[in-house]
Chains A and B, each alone.
Chain A
Amino acid sequence: MFPLSLETKQDRPTALLLLLPLVFILSGTLIRFLAFRYAQPDADWTSYFGALCRWDCGWYVRMAETGYDRFPIPSRINAGNWAFFPFYPMLVGLVAKVVPLPTIVLASLLSILTAYAAVLAAWPLLGRSIRAYALYAAFMLSGPVSFYFTTFFTEVMYVLLTTLVFRFLGRSNYLGAAGAAALLSATRIVGVFASLSIGVQALMDYRKTAGTWKGVIPGLLAQPRLVLSIFIAPLGFFTYVAFLNYWVGDGLAFSHTQRAWGRMIANPAVYLWEGLKKWPDNGALFSNSQILALAAVAGLIVTGILAWRRQWPAVVFCLFCIVIPLAAGLASMLRFMTAMAPLTITVATLLARQRIVFALSLVAIIVSAWFVTLAWMGGNVALV
């Protein structure tokens, strides 16, 4: 990620910046629709949105329509939907009260709109490079895993809010970052770690201004906006916990219900190593476990690049967002990594440096969308 410019006008989107993602919205929709027709030639075209709604998407649809489970769970299963954080599904549910569209159609349209906003918001963090911007827009809207950001997953809102947190932090606007972080902490559990990024940014700002670490604690506590921000940032998380206290009687139900999914907490390095050495037995190049483990390794490498660039607020955020889910296994690691805005933005800036690499990357992103979308509809477990 790049620092913001001193002149705020430079960070405002131009007509080109506004139009370019629209091209990728069109191309992405076309690719995914053609993949749907290819995979399910006999299906009615109107079932397109539903066909792309797989795995957790189904949970979000139900949440938007009927809200959170009570206990005992009405469908008589152990897996309560308390595991899923509320902000995005409840937002869709609220909009659905006034827009009479099927939930999955409405959610898909809102997701595309959110992804568009996330791309626009990332412009300054992409170093105001039009090539990096094009790559990032292509990845989000027309890329291999664009179905995460254009159907009904919380990832798209997570990307937008993460981007906003780091945009605000780029100007040391702690209150703005805290507002975005508060929503982020109600979107996915790891969103709460954006609070740490605010603290790290404040420490860096203090060191820069004071030129010393001496008196850092009083120096930070003497800033009322910062103190207020630190408590606002996790407010979404605590509000959800308060709701679960009231609704189920257990504020930590989001964590306790993981038992029903059979998740075991263990050393993240062990999960990573076991995944990497699990070779495929079906002639494929990589096993699903290897794909998921490699996604986590790639995430850690890019986090290393952020550390090399001394972007500590992003480093802290990324480390927690990789290591904590990894402690519960490799499941969904590819989805988690591709929805980490600091990582994907950094990769886009690296690939955009040379014209030829940029061109090849752009082609690869768009072409792979076809194949990965087919794998998604085929139920490939690595994509869950």
Chain B
Amino acid sequence: MLRLSDRSPTTLGAYALAALIALFELTILWQALHPTVSDDYRAYYIDKTTTCLPQPVAADYTLGTQLDFRSGGDDTRELRPCGWDGPAGDGMHSIGQTSRLRFEVGPPQNLTLSMELTGVTLPGPAEQRVLVSANGVDLQELLVTPGKTERFTIAIPKEAVGDSGFLDLKFDYPDAISPGNRISNTYWRSVKLGRLKLSPA
């Protein structure tokens, strides 16, 4: 058996190799504790400050078009970066505590957003608050009743639209409901989106 007291080249070589591997493993560990990732990645996977990880979408949209988000309705995949589950017969279900929609809207102008929302019927608060923002500008807080479909209209000023040519709508659900015990907030529920339209004001 090899022993330290041998001081043979094989013994010293074994220790040297062990030290080298240890150094490699420590370096890897240090790197792993200091990830180099995008803000979106960090917020969703590491800091867990959002449940909505935006995926790249084409966002093609013609202003004034009414979209049906229910099953059998329009194909809205390229407008939904994250936070939606479906479509289902009663609409596109929000999943997590935030959902996003992205639309190509062209040059800055005042817009009107109209949409139908239904609150989920899981045991929870009497109303679901939905905080709507566009391109980072807070617009309005909506109150959605469980099991009831309501139409909401929101004015979007052209300052919020900006010059990017895209409108990023964000829906935050502070009252989202966990569907069961010990279920991550990435699976919490709040509202169902039926129809939606963005039109010039």
Q: How far is the CB of B81 from chain A (nearest CB, A)?
A: 9
Q: How far is the CA of A221 from the CA of B31 in the complex (A)?
A: 28
Q: Which residue of A lies closest to B38 (CB)?
A: A71
Looking at the complex, which of A25-33, A61-69, A225-233, A347-355 is the stretch in contact with chain B?
A225-233
Q: How far is the CB of A210 from chain B (nearest CB, A)?
A: 13
A380 close to chain B: CB less than 8 A = no
Of A223, A231, A238, A264, the contact of B2 (CB 8 Å cutoff): A223
Q: A225-B2, A225-B14, A228-B17 are contacts. A259–B182 as well, Cβ < 8 Å?
A: no
Looking at the complex, which of B19-27, B67-75, B104-112, B193-201 is the stretch in contact with chain A?
B19-27
| Cβ B3 vs Cβ A245 within 8 A | no
Q: A235-B21, A238-B24 are contacts. A245–B184 as well, Cβ < 8 Å?
A: no
Q: How far is the CA of A252 from the CA of B33 in the complex (A)?
A: 8
Q: Give the residues in chain A near B3, CB-CB below 8 Å.
A: 222-224
| Cβ B18 vs Cβ A242 within 8 A | no
Q: A225-B2, A225-B14, A259-B186 are contacts. A241–B32 as well, Cβ < 8 Å?
A: yes
A 226-266 contacts with B by CB, 8 A: 227-228, 230-232, 234-235, 238, 241-242, 244-245, 248-253, 256-257, 259-260, 262-264, 266
| Cβ B4 vs Cβ A222 within 8 A | yes
Q: Give the residues in chain A near B21, CB-CB below 8 Å.
A: 228, 231-232, 235
Q: Give the residues in chain B near A263, CB-CB below 8 Å.
A: 184
A274 close to chain B: CB less than 8 A = yes
Looking at the complex, which of B39-47, B127-135, B158-166, B167-175 is the stretch in contact with chain A?
B39-47
Q: How far is the CB of B78 from chain A (nearest CB, A)?
A: 10
Q: Give the residues in chain A near B37, CB-CB below 8 Å.
A: 71, 248-250
Q: Which residue of A lies closest to B4 (CB)?
A: A222
Interface centre among A221, A244, A259 (most CB of B within 10 A): A259
Of A73, A224, A250, A251, the contact of B14 (CB 8 Å cutoff): A224
B65 close to chain A: CB less than 8 A = no
| Cβ A249 vs Cβ B18 within 8 A | no
| Cβ A224 vs Cβ B22 within 8 A | no
The size class of the interface chain B forms with chain A is 35 or more
Q: Give the residues in chain B near A250, CB-CB below 8 Å.
A: 32, 35-37, 41, 45-46
Interface 1/0 per residue, B171-189 and A, CB below 8 Å: 0000000000111101100
A78 close to chain B: CB less than 8 A = yes
Q: A252-B35, A253-B45 are contacts. A76–B56 as well, Cβ < 8 Å?
A: yes
| Cβ B18 vs Cβ A224 within 8 A | yes
The size class of the interface chain A forms with chain B is 35 or more
Of B22, B24, B28, B56, the contact of A72 (CB 8 Å cutoff): B56
Q: How far is the CA of A225 from the CA of B8 in the complex (A)?
A: 13
Of B14, B48, B57, B181, the contact of A259 (CB 8 Å cutoff): B48
A 30-80 contacts with B by CB, 8 A: 71-73, 76-78
Interface centre among A71, A76, A221, A242 (most CB of B within 10 A): A76
Q: How far is the CB of A240 from chain B (nearest CB, A)?
A: 9
| Cβ B32 vs Cβ A245 within 8 A | yes
Q: How far is the CB of A81 from chain B (nearest CB, A)?
A: 14
Q: A242-B28, A256-B45, A256-B46 are contacts. A262–B14 as well, Cβ < 8 Å?
A: no
Q: Give the residues in chain A near B17, CB-CB below 8 Å.
A: 228
Q: A224-B14, A235-B21 are contacts. A260–B186 as well, Cβ < 8 Å?
A: yes
| Cβ B44 vs Cβ A259 within 8 A | yes
Q: How far is the CB of A278 from chain B (nearest CB, A)?
A: 10
Other contacts beyond A222-B4, A224-B14: 15, CB < 8 A? A72-B56, A76-B55, A76-B57, A224-B3, A224-B11, A225-B1, A231-B18, A231-B21, A231-B25, A244-B32, A245-B28, A248-B37, A250-B37, A259-B44, A263-B184
Leading 4 A-B pairs by shortest Cβ distance: A251-B32, A224-B14, A256-B45, A250-B35
List 21 contacting pairs A-B, 8 Å CB cutoff, sorted by A.
A71-B37, A72-B56, A73-B55, A77-B55, A224-B10, A228-B15, A228-B17, A228-B18, A231-B22, A241-B29, A248-B37, A249-B35, A251-B35, A252-B32, A256-B45, A259-B45, A259-B48, A260-B186, A262-B183, A264-B182, A271-B182
